[in-house]
Amino acid sequence: MADSSGTDSYPSSWKKAPFIKNSFVRWLLIVGGAIYLAAALGTMNIDIERVKEGLPRAQRFLDSFFPPNFADNRGVLWEGIAESIWMAIISTVAGIALSIPVGLGAARNLAPAWVYLFCRGIIAASRTFPEIILAIFAVKLFGFGPFAGFVALALGTIGFYAKLLAEDIENSSASQAEAVKATGANWFQWVNYSIQPQVMPRMIGLSVYRLDINFRESAVVGIVGGGGIGATLNTSFSRYEFDTAAAILIIIILIVMAMEYTSSFMRKWVQ
């Protein structure tokens, strides 16, 4: 609150408190932000002429999207979608199977320091590179087709799932773990009976969520040769079959919406 009517009289108006209290930091952020914006926009070399030229083209481009063509002239549309779904399922399952040992190793309360650092390293490496870059290398190694996409998505799943699993284990209640340990349980019994029941509900929800992500990502790994609906989409762009591309995009959006509703429903049901 700021007093705007002098020091001796009663304040008669009120000013909203600023979000950042320290006025020096506030002005530093504003001025710094303005300088950065100017510098960034300056080096972006936006070509207004090109944009003007592009706008009628955009109009034509969007016109050629409609009406979407679901007729599937080359008979590849549904095949591509089925391939994406299989790829998403199998890569989620394989990714989670790989994540469980990594996640257990990356939990500070379960693993010794060197295992912890090693597993955290795997997670960091997998999280840094987008699925697309993993897919480029998978295609180089395993050749074109859904197998490369499957490997890329499974590796991408590790970074996501193992990290959340490790965090969940670190946040789990220590007293239950201690109680099970007091019965003389060995390490596997200890993890299975004290940690696993605590993290299970959230992990089931997350695996459904990851399935959803993997399906979405499977739509792009195809662009670099990883199979699935992305390959079909890329082909239809290259062949200027924009009405088919529109149909594919609409189908992807519908499937993702359906999966999102299913996953939020399942998460509620599990918890």
Partner 1 sequence: MPTITNNGTESWRLRTSKEQWIRWVCWLIGITIIMYAWQMISEKTVWFFVTDAPNQAADIGARMVPPKWSYMDKLWKPVWDTINIATLGTVIAMVIAVPVAFATARNTTPNIVVRTIGLFIIVSSRSVNSLIWALILVFILGPGVLAGTIAIGLRSVGFCAKLIYESIEEIDHTQVEAIEATGASSSQKMLFGILPQVLPTIAGVGIYRWDINIRESTILGLVGAGGIGLQLNGSLNTLAWTQVSLILIVILVTVFISEWVSAKVRGAII
Contact positions vs partner 1 (CB under 8 A): 16, 19, 36-37, 40-41, 43-47, 50-51, 54-55, 57-58, 61, 82-83, 85-87, 89-90, 93, 124, 128-130, 132-133, 136-137, 140-143, 145-147, 150, 216-217, 219-220, 223-224, 227, 233-234, 237, 249, 252-253, 256-257, 260
Query: Tokens representing 75?
Result: 């008979």
Least separation in angstroms between residue 89's CB and partner 1 is 4
| Of residues 131, 129, 127, the one with CA closest to residue 159 | 127
Residue position matching structure tokens 């992305």: 230
Pick 103 or 146: Cβ nearer partner 1: 146
Task: Kindly tell me which of 61 and 66 has the beta carbon lying closer to partner 1.
Answer: 61
Q: Is 175 exposed, middle or buried (0-12, 13-18, 19+ CB in 10 A)?
A: exposed
Least Cβ distance, residue 40 to partner 1 (angstroms): 4
Give me Rg for the CA atoms of the chain.
Answer: 26
Tokens 């890569």: give the residue. Answer: 91
Cβ proximity to partner 1: between 58 and 117 the closer is 58
Least separation, in Å, of the C-beta of 31 and partner 1? 16
Query: Does residue 172 contact residue 199 with C-beta atoms inside 8 Å?
Result: yes
Three-class SS of residue 240?
coil
Cα–Cα distance list, 186 to 17, 120, 189, 199 (Å): 57, 25, 5, 19
Is the Cβ of residue 145 or residue 181 nearer to partner 1 in the bound state? 145
Give the span between the Cα atoms of 210 and 93, in whole angstroms. Answer: 10
Nearest distance, CB of residue 241 and partner 1, angstroms: 13
Considering the complex, what minimum distance in angstroms separates the CB of residue 124 from partner 1? Answer: 8
Q: How far is the CB of 237 from partner 1 (least distance, A)?
A: 6
Residue 9 or 238 having the CB closest to partner 1: 238
Q: How far is the CB of 7 from partner 1 (least distance, A)?
A: 26
Q: With CA atoms as reference, report the closest residue to 232 among 216, 249, 213.
A: 249
Q: Which is nearer to partner 1, 33 or 101 (CB)?
A: 33
Minimum CB distance to partner 1 smaller for 44 or for 113? 44
Identify whether the C-beta of residue 240 lies closer than 8 Å to the C-beta of residue 234: no
Q: How far from the centroid of its chain's Cα atoms is residue 140's Cα?
A: 24
- Are 214 and 230 contacting, i.e. CB atoms less than 8 angstroms apart? no
Tokens of 113: 């320091």
